Amino acid sequence: MTDPTVSDAGQARLKKRHAAERRFRLYGQLAIIIALGFLAILLGRVLQQGYTTFWTHSITVQVFLDPARIDRSDLEGNNFDYLAAGNLLKQLKVQDDELGLASGEAMDLVSRDLGFRILDTLKADPSAIGRTVTFTVPVKANADLYYKGEIKRSTPSTDRKISDRQMDWLDALKAKGQVRGHFNTAFFTKSDSTEPEQAGVLGAVVGSALMLLVAAVIAVPTGVLGAVWLEEFAAKGRMSSFIEVNINNLAAVPSIVFGLLGLVLFVNGLGFPRSAPLTGGMVLALMSLPTIIIATRAALKAVPPSIREAALGMGASRTQTVFHHVLPQASPGVMTGIILSMSHALGETAPLLMIGMVAFTPGLPETLASAASVLPVQIYIWENAAEAAYHERTAGAIIVLLAFMIVMNAAAVLLRRRFEKRW
Amino acid sequence: MGGYVACRDSQMVRFSPMTLSFAIILLLAISVGVFWLGRRRARTMASGGATLHSLPGYYGVWVALWTGVPAILVLLFLLTAGPHLGQSLLSANPPAAVSSMPSETAQAFWSDARALSRGKSTSAQPWTAEQKTLLDAKAGEARRFDQVMKMAAYGMAAVLALAGFLLVWPRIAPTLRARNRVEGWINIALIACSAAAVLTTVGIVVSLMFEALRFFAVVSPLDFLFGLDWQPQIAMRADQVAAKGAFGAVPLFAGTFLIMLIAMCVAAPVGLFCAIYLSEYASPRSRAVIKPLLEVLAGVPTVVYGFFAVLTVGPAFRSFFNYIGSWLAEGPLDPLGQYLMGVQGEMALTAGVVMGIMLIPYISSLSDDIINAVPQSLRDGSYAMGATRSETVTRVILPSALPGVMGAMLLAVSRAIGETMIVTMAAGSQARITANPLESVTTVTRQMVELLTGDQSFDNAMTLSAFGLGLTLFVVTLTLNVIALRVVQKYRQAYD
């Protein structure tokens, strides 16, 4: 296939150049593979560490509410967990020692929720004392990790949180059918807790939703109307170019600086509550304002001038032209920009740390001004927690967060596909 | 300063939000009613044979705007500013007994006075009988002021609504250019909205300056910018020997720079080659797959990257280096081996590499735009001269896209410097100056988070130093952004 008109030296050069070409192409492919490989590893690791969160184990315990051991005058003062642990041992046919160490160890296998459940039962019906009542509660986080195989018997006993004896008991309970694995609904119906097995993301999800609501209510009208003025009304002069430069720079300001602004202006200056969805939402609104303005302007620019000219020609005023014709035509693009900026705001953490959103907040936020946790901050808090059981929950919460972001982004993509207009 | 600190605990929402939102809803309802009245009046005129200048609805909207907007604005303003006014009035003229208290007790006194006046529980501070009487007196004062303020706010809102209505109602006439007037209002609202972005910038600058100046009043800016010792935590206890603490931020700048450099070493080549491949080599179909996937990488929240760094990349690097160390130890390179065996996962390399991953899609999408902006004629010319694709890229496209690509890199640098969560989770907290990527370093943003989370009082240098760091960060990133945006924009226009 060699071309006889090209000299040997030329052939060699050509070969070299083609080899260089192949190498260059390979670099490009390699870069893409590296980037996508990182993505795969990142998502793979999150899924690998997090999927176990959605599965958990519950234990069914029959508790004999021994009248001899329950102080009726002070129900709250009783240690029901200890009482139940004794029952559990009896069912396992294990003799407790005189110090009660075995009961103590058995107590560490069952969630503290059990004690509160017994207390609630007795408060509702004091006559239950003396009867045997059956309760189904989550197992303690470490026991759950053992059932999931994350705490292994092969680890030296000093390096693990569960003793050999406890492992034997857990195996026996499982064999007796008292322990059942099931979907972890508590993760979605409970809020943060000091006990990993009872910690869930509901509070954080509600907090995030409230915060995004505040951010959207403030940033969307301001951003869209601001963009309308800049794009459709403002005379192209010094003023509008100043604002434009300003907005472009604001979009590139580190998010933590917006947190400082929120701390000084909203929390210290105006006395807004710390750690509340209201304050956080306002900070996020300021942060997403430039992105919304930029996206809206791009969408408005894409509407061809003929639409405006036609409307003006029919006698509409400029305001009518913009609000009756241009903005509706641009709305798919505007909506896409809004959704993307809100999805970005959903994942933002640093500015919220600045306004004090690192506090432990059990329960649901009652109002916009009460303390709340949000998903990314919850992830940060759990990631910092010492107990191993929080680590799977961190990854679980990340999966929830990513799921929300995927839904939002998919909505944006769909919107773009469905309503995109080619002029 | 006392007044300022006291302001800080006015955290509860003062005027009950229920009455406020009720008042606003009432005003809105009145506006709707007035709108309806105005429209009906215009319609009646039209049916009477007159030719209206505008559609009847515009007359209604015009009246409604005059009735509702000033009243609502005044209401919001008074109810936000009122409590602060009350606060400063209350503590403006402190009785001798209070001004002789230590500042913390005085603070507790004022916050208790306000809590009492609103019927909330007071702090656990044990007040003497005498102080208690004073407290009650002040609480009564505060309560009276709150009431007066409330009455004034609602009263003024009512008067304004009525005045607005009475002012414009008689002016409804067929010749009134109602549409133009409504559009005037709309125009003002639009300008206000776009001014919000400018106001945000002003807010950032003013608030950072305000706090940073208080910091620089204690610590000289020169010591801060050029000092080599960063030990803010010492300033916690005032009675210690080294109570002043050390606020030399150079170790933080060095750490930030090191991590940024590592990140750019990862992100710049990978991102740039991604962009080149996507714009010059990839078929439209693979482009349609790869681009959204890169966007997913760009959309991953930084806290997730932090998690990835701590639990995956950090341990992986540590075991990798420890393995190499154990292999080198007891050989000719024993000291190096011993060192590598002791490497921890908190090293600069971990944070840097993960930050680099985060920046890949950013650089690639910016560079992609810039490379695509190079006119096709340049490519065609190059191909016509017999150049291969890679030669076209390296000799024609990249040189002409270079300023733009540089701008993109600067934007990425600015993002790397301002990135917070990855370094907060994965970098160390020990300030040290080193160029060794295996050492743990700390960064500006990480220190800011550390200084401002947890208990904070705004009267010590430790907390305030965060604002010194914030101001530096803002100035540096702003400068980078201004230069980069200039370059990118100028370049884009050059081929238009």
Out of B11, B203, B448, name the one closest to residue A271 (CB): B11
B390/A contact by beta carbon, under 8 A: yes
CA distance A307 to A420: 16
- Say what the pLDDT of residue A163 is: 83
Q: Is residue A58 within a helix (H) or strand (E), and if so which, with residue range?
A: strand A55-64
- R_g of chain A, CA atoms, integer Å: 31
- Helices assigned H by DSSP within B93-177: 96-99, 103-117, 129-168
> Which residues in B lie closer than 8 A to residue A336 (C-beta atoms)?
none
Instruction: Give the residue among A220, A217, A255 at the shortest CA–CA distance from A347.
Output: A255
- Say what the pLDDT of residue B5 is: 35
pLDDT tens, position by position, A352-378? 998 888 878 887 888 888 888 899 999
- Say what the pLDDT of residue B122 is: 67
- Say what the pLDDT of residue B476 is: 94
Where do the structural domains in chain B lie, given as residue ranges? 2-176, 233-494
Check if the beta carbon of residue B229 is closer than 8 Å to that of residue B249. no
Q: Is residue A20 part of a domain?
A: no
Instruction: Count residue pairs from A and B with Cβ separation < 8 A.
Output: 285
Single-letter amino acid code for the residue at A57: H
Residue A389: pLDDT band with limits 50, 70, 90: confident
CA distance A49 to A30: 28
pLDDT tens, position by position, B243-288? 556 888 899 999 999 999 999 999 999 999 999 999 999 999 998 8
Quick one: angle between helices A80-91 and A164-176, nearest 10? 70
Check if the beta carbon of residue A333 is closer than 8 Å to that of residue A298. yes
Please tell me which residue, B304 or A89, carries the higher pLDDT value: B304
Residue A112: pLDDT band with limits 50, 70, 90: confident
- Greatest alpha-carbon pair distance for chain A in Å reads 110
- Residues A219, A367, single domain; the answer is yes
Q: Is residue B92 within a helix (H) or strand (E), and if so which, with residue range?
A: helix B56-92
Q: List the structure tokens of B91.
A: 């503590």
Residue A164: pLDDT band with limits 50, 70, 90: confident
CB-CB under 8 Å, A250 with B197: yes
CA distance A112 to A132: 19
Angle at B74 between CA A239 and CA B197, to 5 degrees: 25
Q: Which A residues, 220 through 279, put their C-beta within 8 Å of a C-beta on chain B?
A: 221-223, 225-230, 233-234, 242-243, 245-250, 252-258, 260-261, 263-265, 267-274
Q: Is residue A38 part of a domain?
A: no
Please tell me which residue, A341 or B231, carries the higher pLDDT value: A341
pLDDT tens, position by position, B51-92? 888 888 899 999 999 998 989 888 888 777 766 677 777 766
B270/A contact by beta carbon, under 8 A: yes
- The model carries a pTM of 0.86
CA distance A282 to A345: 11
CA distance B62 to A343: 37
Mean pLDDT of A159-181: 84
From residue B91, alpha-carbon distances to A37, A272, A394, B84, B147 in Å are 62, 20, 46, 11, 17
Mean pLDDT of A36-59: 91
Indicate the range of A247-251, A399-403, B46-50 predicted with least confidence: B46-50
CA distance A197 to A185: 11
Mean pLDDT of B454-477: 84
> Which residues in A lie closer than 8 A to residue B17 (C-beta atoms)?
367, 369
Q: Is residue A10 part of a domain?
A: no
Mean pLDDT of B395-404: 89
- Residues A72, A122, single domain; the answer is yes
Residue A175: pLDDT band with limits 50, 70, 90: confident
**pLDDT higher than threshold 50 for residue A317:** yes
- Say what the pLDDT of residue A78 is: 79
What chain B residue is nearest to A379 in terms of C-alpha separation?
Answer: B303
Residue in this structure with the two tokens 């300033």, named with its chain if needed:
B235
Mean pLDDT of A81-88: 82
B316/A contact by beta carbon, under 8 A: no
- Residues A176, A210, single domain; the answer is no
CA distance B444 to B470: 8
3-state secondary structure of B243: coil
Q: Is residue A337 part of a domain?
A: yes
- Say what the pLDDT of residue B227 is: 86
- Residues A239, A347, single domain; the answer is yes
- Cβ-proximal residues to A221 (8 Å cutoff; 6+ apart), any chain: B193
Check if the beta carbon of residue B244 is closer than 8 Å to that of residue B233. no
From residue B427, alpha-carbon distances to A286, B342, B343, B359 in Å are 28, 17, 13, 17
Q: Which A residues, 30 through 59, put their C-beta within 8 Å of a C-beta on chain B?
A: 30-32, 34-36, 38-39, 41-42, 45-46, 49
What chain B residue is nearest to A272 in terms of C-alpha separation?
Answer: B11
Residue A360, min C-alpha distance to chain B (Å)? 11
Q: Is residue A178 part of a domain?
A: yes
**pLDDT higher than threshold 50 for residue B1:** no
CB-CB under 8 Å, A347 with B207: no
Out of A257, A267, A376, name the one closest to residue B301 (CB): A376
- Residues A118, A248, single domain; the answer is no
What chain A residue is nearest to B481 in terms of C-alpha separation?
Answer: A249
The count of domains in chain A is 2
Residue B197, min C-alpha distance to chain A (Å)? 6
Q: Torsion angle, CA of B455/B457/B462/B464, rounded to 10 degrees?
A: 120
CB-CB under 8 Å, B293 with A225: no
Q: Is residue A59 within a helix (H) or strand (E), and if so which, with residue range?
A: strand A55-64
Please tell me which residue, A131 or A402, carries the higher pLDDT value: A402
Q: Is residue A25 part of a domain?
A: no
CB-CB under 8 Å, A272 with B301: no
CA distance B106 to B490: 58
- Say what the pLDDT of residue B15 is: 47
Rounded to the nearest integer, the mean pLDDT of chain B is 84
- Say what the pLDDT of residue B14 is: 46
Mean pLDDT of A176-181: 85
> Which residues in B lie closer than 8 A to residue A274 (C-beta atoms)?
11
- Say what the pLDDT of residue B496 is: 54
B458/A contact by beta carbon, under 8 A: yes
- Residues A179, A207, single domain; the answer is no
* Cα torsion B329, B333, B339, B344: sign: negative
Query: What percentage of chain B exceeds 90 in pLDDT?
Result: 37
Residue in this structure with the two tokens 């059918």, named with its chain if needed:
A177
Q: Which B residues, 191 through 210, put their C-beta within 8 Å of a C-beta on chain A?
A: 191, 193-198, 200-201, 203-204, 207-208, 210
> Which residues in A lie closer than 8 A to residue B425 (C-beta atoms)?
380, 383
B118/A contact by beta carbon, under 8 A: no
CA distance A298 to A292: 10
Out of A32, A233, A289, name the one closest to residue B290 (CB): A32
- For the B233-494 domain, the top CATH level (class) is mainly alpha
Residue B9: pLDDT band with limits 50, 70, 90: very low
Out of B270, B302, B311, name the one closest to residue A35 (CB): B270
Q: Is residue A188 part of a domain?
A: no
CB-CB under 8 Å, A253 with B418: yes
- Residues A299, A246, single domain; the answer is yes
Residue in this structure with the two tokens 């599965």, named with its chain if needed:
A55
A401/B contact by beta carbon, under 8 A: yes
Strand partners, A182: A56
Q: List the structure tokens of B365.
A: 């999408």
Residue B120: pLDDT band with limits 50, 70, 90: low
What chain B residue is nearest to A340 in terms of C-alpha separation?
Answer: B299
Q: Is residue A238 part of a domain?
A: yes
Q: Is residue B463 within a helix (H) or strand (E), and if so which, with residue range?
A: helix B461-494
Mutate to test the interface with B, among A270, A283, A348, A349 (most CBs of B within 10 A): A349
What chain B residue is nearest to A398 in terms of C-alpha separation?
Answer: B304
Quick one: angle between helices A277-302 and A238-251, nearest 10? 120
Angle at A107 between CA A104 and CA A112, to 5 degrees: 135
Domain range spanning residue A138? 55-183
**pLDDT higher than threshold 60 for residue B240:** no
A378/B contact by beta carbon, under 8 A: no
- Helices assigned H by DSSP within B248-347: 250-276, 284-299, 302-308, 314-328, 334-341
Mean pLDDT of B449-462: 76
**pLDDT higher than threshold 50 for residue A169:** yes
Q: Is residue A180 within a helix (H) or strand (E), and if so which, with residue range?
A: strand A179-183
- Residues A332, A394, single domain; the answer is yes
- Say what the pLDDT of residue B255 is: 93
Indicate the range of A114-118, B10-14, B18-22 predicted with least confidence: B10-14
- Say what the pLDDT of residue B423 is: 92
Single-letter amino acid code for the residue at A106: A
- Residues A210, A284, single domain; the answer is yes
What chain A residue is nearest to B390 in terms of C-alpha separation?
Answer: A21
CB-CB under 8 Å, B390 with A24: yes
- Residues A177, A210, single domain; the answer is no
Residue A88, min C-alpha distance to chain B (Å)? 36
Q: For A111, how many CA atoms within 13 A lie in the half-sphere containing its CB? A: 25
CA distance A20 to A26: 10
Q: Which A residues, 299 through 318, put their C-beta within 8 Å of a C-beta on chain B?
A: 317-318
Instruction: Read off φ and ψ for residue A61, nearest 5 degrees.
Output: -120, 135
- Residues A277, A413, single domain; the answer is yes
Instruction: Give the residue among A175, A151, A172 at the shortest CA–CA distance from A163.
Output: A151
Residue A383, min C-alpha distance to chain B (Å)? 7
DSSP string, A352-364: HHHTTTTS---S-
Query: What percentage of chain A exceeds 70 in pLDDT?
Result: 98
- Residues A157, A218, single domain; the answer is no
Indicate the range of A83-97, A262-276, B156-170 predicted with least confidence: A83-97
Q: What is the number of residues in chain A?
A: 423
CATH number at residue A388: 1.10.3720.10
